[in-house]
């Protein structure tokens, strides 16, 4: 009997019109998480001794003098990021080799011991100031693994790591996002560290309550499960973390990619990918920079599936972003601007449909994510774009207001001609923060959206239509 009741309850919760209430369907995002999801796209910057040794993972034995970016200019990084439409920059303050890009008091393997600026330089100070000047968010990647520090592999190292966190958050804030990966290898003493992540989190929360913390299991943002920059076509902002750890004990990659439909924690996905084959600069890869079209495809499969995109753009040995990377980034920006410049939903009227009654709505293309229409049941309620004249389109953008949770579990778009005949149907699962759907160019007179399965009432904040370059349509 108990099993039968559980099954019935599950069906009930997924009935399209199971409730007409406006209650929250927990979990729900914090204000900081909502603001983070609105950023959508920003830079990662891998920079350090590996830039000069041609390694991806440094050994920790590199001489500090190898780090000498004589022309380093963080304002150049920020100008390019700003022009590329990125909203922030995340810097590898300390990678696995243990080299600190700031003069930490808790390490002897830092910029202080390098040739650069006669040991007086501080990358974090310069980048933090440049980000503030150009209106960009500033984030920090701090690897817990340290292949150089003599205390690594002992309880004392956790004290060292905490003190490094305190240095960074005290001297270089505000820190918008903190990145932890799960790498955990041997240190110089041949031992591995038992990380006290619970303590690390408490320290960060006390110093900077609104900082977003990234890792395989959050607590605020999760890894998407791959380094290709792709989120799942089904992408829940929810994740169960009980029993899982960072690194080797993380959830399966398909779970990280899709999230959990009934996940107990709001932990949206972040998609990391490099503009080059490697993460650090290598001259041999100057000809292998991803094309603007490749970047656009990644954008469709990350931001276009409700995740955020963190794109790695590594400076070269002089300390500058190369013209190869910059040129691709600027063209990528042009492709996005041109693709989403003309919202054809404004060439007609948008309707909220209840039964046979149509009510004109202005909430779906007003650019305000806090205005939305609520869909309750596909047979009673749907949304429609009615064009004044038949319109060629090949892209539709949907957005869900997430303040009270993520609710849409299955939707259907119908493209109709002037005689109300269905030309094409497009089905999908989650919408989330943003869903970009592309398809072969089609001339339509009407587009309707219905929700076929939902956890609660789906709040649609955007329903827009575009005609993008056919070569950019997702394959």
Same domain, 156 and 210: yes
pLDDT of amino acid 369: 83
Out of 297, 320, 339, a domain closes at 339
User: Taken in order 293, 298, 304, 308, is the CA torsion positive or negative?
Assistant: negative
Give pLDDT tens digits for 429-441: 999 999 999 999 9
Could you list the beta-strand ranges (E) of 114-166. Answer: 137-142
pLDDT of amino acid 182: 85
Q: Residue 60 domain-assigned?
A: yes
Q: Which domain holds residue 100?
A: 31-339
Percent of the chain with pLDDT over 70: 94
Same domain, 119 and 231: yes
Give the HSE-up count for residue 57: Cα atoms under 13 Å, Cβ half-sphere. Answer: 9
Query: What CATH number is attached to the domain comprising 334?
Result: 3.20.20.80
117 DSSP 8-state letter: G
Domains held by the chain: number: 2
Query: In whole angstroms, what is the distance from residue 311 CA to residue 276 CA?
Result: 10
Count the Cβ atoms, other than its own, within 10 Å of residue 2: 6
Same domain, 52 and 138: yes
Q: Residue 406 domain-assigned?
A: yes
Distances (CA, A) of 427 to 95, 200, 254, 439: 42, 43, 21, 12
Same domain, 245 and 273: yes
Same domain, 377 and 451: yes
Q: Residue 67 domain-assigned?
A: yes
Give pLDDT tens digits for 96-130: 999 999 999 999 999 999 999 999 999 999 999 99
Q: Residue 22 domain-assigned?
A: no
Same domain, 70 and 182: yes
pLDDT of amino acid 2: 33
- Flag whether pLDDT at 230 surpasses 70: yes
Question: How much is the mean pLDDT over the chain?
Answer: 93
Give pLDDT tens digits for 144-198: 999 999 999 999 999 999 999 999 999 999 999 999 988 999 999 999 999 999 9
Same domain, 94 and 165: yes
Q: Residue 411 domain-assigned?
A: yes
Same domain, 124 and 167: yes
pLDDT of amino acid 18: 37
Instruction: Select from 176, 290, 311, 289 the least CA-distant residue to 230.
Output: 311
Based on its alpha-carbon atoms, the radius of gyration of the chain, rounded to whole angstroms, reads 24
Q: Residue 310: which H helix or E strand, with range?
A: strand 308-312
* Bridging pattern class, strands 348-354 and 308-312: unpaired
Residue with tokens 């109300």: 420
Same domain, 364 and 299: no
Query: Predicted confidence band at 474 (pLDDT cuts at 50, 70, 90)?
Result: confident
Same domain, 209 and 306: yes
pLDDT of amino acid 12: 33
Cβ-Cβ contacts under 8 Å for 242 (sequence gap 6 or more): 264
Mean pLDDT over residues 202-230, rounded? Answer: 97
Q: Residue 19 domain-assigned?
A: no
The pair of structure tokens assigned to 320 is 């500058």
- Flag whether pLDDT at 8 surpasses 60: no
Mean pLDDT over residues 315-335, rounded? Answer: 98
- Flag whether pLDDT at 463 surpasses 90: yes
pTM above 0.85, yes or no: yes
Query: What CATH number is attached to the domain comprising 364?
Result: 2.60.120.260
Q: Residue 13 domain-assigned?
A: no
Out of 339, 363, 385, a domain closes at 339
Same domain, 251 and 288: yes
Mean pLDDT over residues 248-253, rounded? Answer: 94
Out of 280, 313, 339, a domain closes at 339
Q: Residue 16 domain-assigned?
A: no
Same domain, 318 and 401: no
Mean pLDDT over residues 321-344, rounded? Answer: 98
Residue with tokens 């998480």: 33
């Amino acid at each position: 009997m108990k099993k039968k009741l559980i099954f019935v309850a599950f069906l009930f919760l997924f009935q399209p019109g199971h409730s007409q209430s406006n209650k929250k369907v927990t979990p729900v995002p914090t204000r900081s998480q909502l603001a983070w999801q609105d950023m959508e796209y920003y830079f990662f910057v891998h920079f350090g001794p590996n830039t000069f040794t041609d390694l991806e993972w440094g050994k920790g034995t590199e001489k500090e003098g190898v780090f000498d970016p004589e022309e380093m200019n963080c304002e150049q990084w920020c100008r390019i990021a700003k022009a590329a439409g990125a909203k922030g920059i995340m810097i590898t303050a300390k990678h696995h080799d243990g080299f600190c890009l700031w003069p930490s008091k808790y390490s002897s393997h830092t910029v202080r011991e390098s040739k650069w600026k006669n040991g007086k330089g501080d990358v974090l100070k310069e980048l933090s100031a440049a980000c503030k000047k150009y209106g960009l968010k500033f984030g920090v990647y701090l690897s817990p693994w340290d292949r150089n520090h003599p205390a690594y592999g002992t309880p004392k190292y956790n004290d060292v790591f905490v003190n490094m966190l305190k240095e960074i958050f005290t001297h270089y804030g505000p820190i918008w996002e903190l990145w932890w990966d799960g790498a955990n290898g041997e240190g110089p003493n041949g031992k591995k560290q038992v990380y006290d992540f619970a303590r690390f989190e408490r320290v960060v929360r006390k110093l900077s309550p609104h900082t977003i913390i990234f890792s395989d299991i959050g607590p605020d943002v999760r890894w998407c499960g791959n380094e290709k920059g792709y989120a799942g076509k089904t992408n829940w902002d929810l994740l169960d973390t009980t029993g899982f750890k960072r690194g080797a004990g993380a959830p399966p990659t398909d779970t990280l990619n899709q999230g959990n439909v009934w996940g107990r924690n709001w932990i949206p996905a972040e998609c990391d990918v490099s503009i080059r084959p490697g993460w650090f600069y290598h001259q041999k890869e100057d000809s292998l920079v991803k094309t603007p079209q490749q970047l656009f495809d990644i954008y469709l499969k990350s931001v276009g599936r409700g995740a955020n995109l963190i794109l790695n753009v590594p400076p070269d040995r002089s300390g500058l972003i190369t013209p190869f990377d910059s040129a691709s980034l600027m063209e990528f920006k042009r492709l996005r601007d041109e693709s989403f410049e003309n919202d054809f939903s404004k060439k007609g009227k948008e309707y909220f449909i209840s039964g046979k009654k149509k009510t004109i709505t202005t909430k779906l293309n007003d650019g305000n994510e806090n205005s939305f229409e609520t869909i309750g049941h596909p047979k009673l309620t749907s949304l429609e774009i009615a064009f004044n004249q038949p319109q060629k389109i090949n892209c539709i953008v949907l957005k869900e207001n997430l303040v009270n949770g993520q609710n849409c579990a299955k939707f259907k778009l119908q493209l109709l001609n002037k005689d109300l005949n269905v030309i094409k149907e497009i089905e999908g699962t989650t919408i989330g923060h943003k869903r970009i759907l592309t398809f072969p160019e089609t001339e339509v007179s009407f587009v309707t959206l219905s929700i076929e399965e939902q956890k609660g009432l789906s709040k649609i904040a955007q329903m827009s239509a575009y005609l993008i370059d056919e070569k950019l349509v997702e394959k």
